[in-house]
Structures are given as structure tokens and as C-alpha cells.
Structure 1
Amino acid sequence: MSISREDVLDRWTEKQTSIRTKLTFLDPPPSSSSFTVSSSATATPIPLTSAQKEYDYPLTRLDRPEDIVVEGLRTIGGVDISFLPPSSSPTLDEEQLQEGVATIVVLSFPFLEVLHTLSHRIELSQPYISSFLAFREAPPLLELIAGLKKELESKGKLEDFPQVLFVDGNGRLHERECGLACVLGLELGIPTIGISKKPYLFPSSPLSLSSLSNPPHWRSSPKSITTTIKTHLRQRGGWFGLFPRPPPSSETPFEYSTEMPDYLGAALISSNTSLAPIFVSSGHRISLETSVRLTVACSRTKIPEPVRRADLEGREEVRRWVGERDGEGVVRER
């Protein structure tokens, strides 16, 4: 008996809801954490009109690299998947691509030098479905990370296993607060940070406010989010929260405050090389503020080094694979 797509998505939704109850988006106490992160960050309220206050305009913050203090952190990891286009149809959409390369890199901190890399050629068993990326990519990534751990154990270098993992994909910035970085973090039991190049919208969530409201809500579309970012974030380390989560017991809309609300993610200018933002969110066992500060500390360009280096290594392995198969080819990335 075949299972319908609707039944599969219902089961996946239930699974995500269950996982969410086990996640924590707070920093562990120093006594139970291998590293700590602090900053003399400044919160700068934007002068608002009364109408803007009703639409919870963002509270901008600034975490300059020189103000960020990281203690105890020696190794950081990054994971990414690059896809292999089929030779017969190189223009297929990503959701139709099933073969690829999963890569993890381990970098030293603070020098961001590559210590270890491992890549697996993979064949994904699930299609790409928006908001269910973890069911497609978490299994091969977990197998890859287990392979890295086994390799480090065999070399007597288990101390090089990442203390924190950057993930090319969202964490809490997700419709059910359960993106790929969350699933990996829960399974691995280590802090994880989600990194995305695009803003996440919530098509079926109360957080998705109508673009037809008057005035339109700044979080109602990618364009309005981008416009707000360009207006308020103009230097490295500048960021503000996205999609404040109301307290569980509250049925009232979020109100503007100079206190830090419980945001699902943040828009961040991570380097001096680009004023284009990235979108950062906690995966598990780490706060949003610490996620942002570590991202700034680990970025030389727009994309933080752990994810950027994993992407480069994965692309190179795909090129080798394509070369073995049919000569020069194209590398696709998410």
C-alpha cells in the first residue's frame, strides 16, 4: 500500500514538532560548556513613528569583531552539500537532483586554518520539499560526521572534533522552529548554527504578516526585508532580529521594546567585503546572540569560513566526479 505525499508530510510535521520540544536555544552555563562568548555589543533603538511601533520595527545591534571575546574555543566545523547535475539534463531544478557530495571541514579557532576535511559522495533518497530539508539532508550529513569522528579516533585526534558546527541551512528560523541545523544539533549533542543566504518566510504561520496591510509589514516579503536591512545595517557586525516569537502564554501581538525579544533568527552583515546580509539562527544548545557573534568572528567574507570552506571542498569533489563521468561539468549548490 503506497503512502500519499500528504501523509508523509503530516508524519514529518509531527516529527518536527516532537523534535522542537527537545531543543534549547540558550547557551549552556559556563560550567557545562567548553567555550564562552561575550561582547560589549550596543543596542541602538531606531527612532520610530507611532505607526512603525505597531509593526515592531527591528532593534539594531552592533557586534564589532574587536568587541567579541571567545574563550575556550579551539575547533569549529562546517557542513555543506553540493549537487551533481545529471549529464543528460544539466538544467534540472535542484529539487530533482539526487546525487551530490556531502562535506565537513574542521577549522582551528581563531586562526581559521583547515585541520581536517572529509567528503562523501551521496545519493539522496528524499526530494527537496520546502521546510522539510532535514529529512533530505540530515541522514547523509550525520553519516558523514560519524565518519569524521571515527577517522579522528583512529588518528588519536578526537580532541579536534568540532566544538560547534555551522550548517548550510536554517536552524530555528523555520516554520516549526526545526530546521536542518536543529536536527543535526540534537542528534550530535553539540551547539549548531544555521546559516542561510536568503530570508525565510512563513507561508502558513501567524508570523507571516500580510503584504496587503496598510502600511505593509516590513517582514511581509523578501523585498521589504531587504529594503529594511539596507536602510539600517551598514557595517560589519550590524544585525537585528527577525520574527519575534510571542511568549507562550501571551495571545497579544509583539510590541516594540528595547529589550531583546525571543527572535527566531537574525539578519547580519558578517564582513567588510559585502553589505549583503546572511541569515543566522540557533540550531541547538546556543543562543541567537552567541550564534551571531561567532558568525562574525568566523567570517572573512560574506559566508562564514566553516561553511565557505565546506562548499569549496564539496564543489571540488563534484568536479572530480563529473570529470570521471563525462568530462567538465557544472556544479550546483543550494
Structure 2
Amino acid sequence: MTWPTTVDEAIALQEKLRYLVVTTTDPDLDVRVVAGLDVGYAADDRLAAVVVVLDATTLEPLDEVVVHGTTDFPYVPGLFAFREMPSLMTALGKLAVTPDLLVCDGQGVAHPRRFGLACHLGVETGIPSIGVAKSPMVSFAPPGDARGSHTDLVMDDDVVGRALRTQSGVKPVFVSVGHKIDLDRACAEVLRLAPRYRLPETTRQADQLTRLSLRDPTEHP
């Protein structure tokens, strides 16, 4: 694929592809293998795109890929996908195991144009995808303190995601549909993937590998 090189081209592509997003779940979806995706940046503009694949039941790692690279696309809120997608797609193409679900460190439809990184990855790959962000792009009411409590994320009177408490008494994460999954199922999968910590294991393990690979690229060339 030829990726946009300007802000206007990127926005136009998001506006075009957003209508391909499916916000329902196939009744036959059985998530046995799940992938976490993350991109980290070094001070010298190097990036590391990481995909970690886990057994969805045991949360044991099954596969991992690290792709090192750089990006020329500008740092523009709402367009981070165009900095990260090329390297993430390369990493996904190197997996030896095909995931049933992608869990992205970023937004899905909880995005100004309803087409965040999780949507873009889902539409490009055809794999169900979820956005799990550490911070929201809209204001929200805090959910209750108990694990599983949630409140809606609303944009222009539309519910676009949830602030979800994955552990009692800790900050929520912000879940939104990426592609081929509904919001209830997305939140259920995130809770299943976060039995002990705030972040789902997919995100935690991908983030750890990202930091390690940027600190010592020779470990993951």
C-alpha cells in the first residue's frame, strides 16, 4: 500500500475508510489467540513496532515480532496511525501465528473522525480489533471503583467507547471498537486480558518489548 505523506491526504483516507468499519461481532468469533500491538519512539527518531501474540486463555506468549524503523509523517493528533501503520503492518506480516483479535494501544472509533489506529488496522487486515487507550480524546465521567465498572465515552451524542475499570481502585482504560466487534464484547475481552493489572496483558507485554528493543536494538534486530 502507498501511505499518505501529507495531513490532507491522511484525513481524506480516514474519511473514506471509516465507512468500512463493522461494529458488530460475528456470532462465530472465538478468540483463542490474541495480539497486542505497540509502537515506541527513541530520542533519535527511531521507532520500534511490536506485535506480541498470546494464548487468550493462559496469556502465555506464542509469538513476537519487532520491526525497527523511522517515520517521516508529522506528529499530528488524530493521525498517529500514519506514523505507525507501515511498521505495524510489516510486523503483522512476519507473524508465524495468525491472531483472532488485535488489541491496539490507541483509539478505535473513539476518535474525531471515528477512525483511529485500531479501526485502520482492522480494516486493512480484516481481523477483529479493539482500541485500548491509556487516555481518552473526550471528557468522561469516572466509573465506579469496582472492577468492570464503566461509563460511556460520548462524541456528538454518539457512544463511541467506554472508560472501563479493569482493576478495583485503579485508573480506567478507554476501550473502543476497532473493527468486526461490538463494544460489549470488546470490554469483555479487555477484562479477560487484564486479570491482574490495569492494562491488558497484550498491551503490557508489547510495551515491555518495545522499551527493551529500543534500549538494545541488537536483541531484536
TM over 0.5: yes
Equivalent-residue separation in structure 1 for 2:182 and 2:110 (angstroms): 13
Separation in structure 2 between the aligned mates of residue 23 and residue 74 of structure 1, nearest angstrom: 23
- Which ranges in structure 2 are unaligned for 5 or more consecutive residues? none
**Could you tell me the TM-score, scaled by structure 1's length?**
0.61
Structure index of larger Rg: 1
Question: In structure 2, how many angstroms separate the alpha carbons of the residues matched to 1:173 and 1:195?
Answer: 10
Residues 94-243 of structure 1 mapped to structure 2, 5 A cutoff: 98-148=45-95, 152=96, 160-201=97-138, 219=139, 225=140, 228-229=141-142, 232-243=143-154
* Cα displacement (A) at 1:322: 8.9
Is the CA contact (8 Å cut-off) linking 1:238 and 1:268 kept in structure 2?
yes
2:171 counterpart (269, 272, 276): 276
TM-score under structure 2 normalisation? 0.91
The amino acid that maps onto 1:21 is Y
Distance 2:72 2:135 in 1: 25
Which residue of the partner structure matches residue 305 of structure 1?
201
- Measured in 1, the distance between the counterparts of 2:88 and 2:147 equals 31
Q: CA RMSD in A?
A: 1.8
| Percent pairwise identity | 31
For 1:183, give the aligned amino acid: H
Match of 2:12 in 1: 14
Structure 1: how far apart are the matches of 2:41 and 2:83? 13
Q: Which runs of 5+ in 1 are unaligned?
A: 1-6, 36-72, 87-97, 153-159, 202-218, 220-224, 246-253, 255-261, 324-334
Q: Is the 8 A contact 1:84 1:322 kept in 2?
A: no
Question: Could you tell me whether the CA contact under 8 Å between 2:121 and 2:129 is conserved in 1?
Answer: yes
Instruction: Report how far residue 109 of structure 1 moved.
Output: 1.8
Distance 2:10 2:43 in 1: 27
Is 2:188 the partner of 1:293? Answer: yes
- Is 1:83 the counterpart of 2:41? The answer is yes
Cα shift at 1:294: 0.5
Shift of 1:244: 5.5
* 1:167 Cα offset (Å): 0.3
What is the deviation of 1:8? 3.0
**Number of matched residues?**
214
- Whichever residue aligns with residue 189 of structure 1, its letter is G
Conservation of the 8 A alpha-carbon contact between 2:67 and 2:90:
no
Question: Which letter does structure 2 place at the counterpart of 1:26?
Answer: T
Which stretches of structure 1, 4 residues or more, deviate above 4 A after TM superposition?
A: none
- SS, match of residue 107 in structure 2: coil
The one-character-per-residue Cα deviations of 1:6-39 (angstroms, maximum 9, x if unpaired) are x9323222211110111111112x2xx331xxxx
Q: Distance between the aligned counterparts of 1:263 and 1:110, measured in 2?
A: 29
Kindly provide the amino acid, as one letter, of the partner of residue 305 in structure 1. E
Inter-partner Cα distance in structure 2 for 1:308 and 1:127: 26
Conserved in 1, the CA contact under 8 Å of 2:22 and 2:180?
A: yes
Deviation, 1:136, is: 1.1
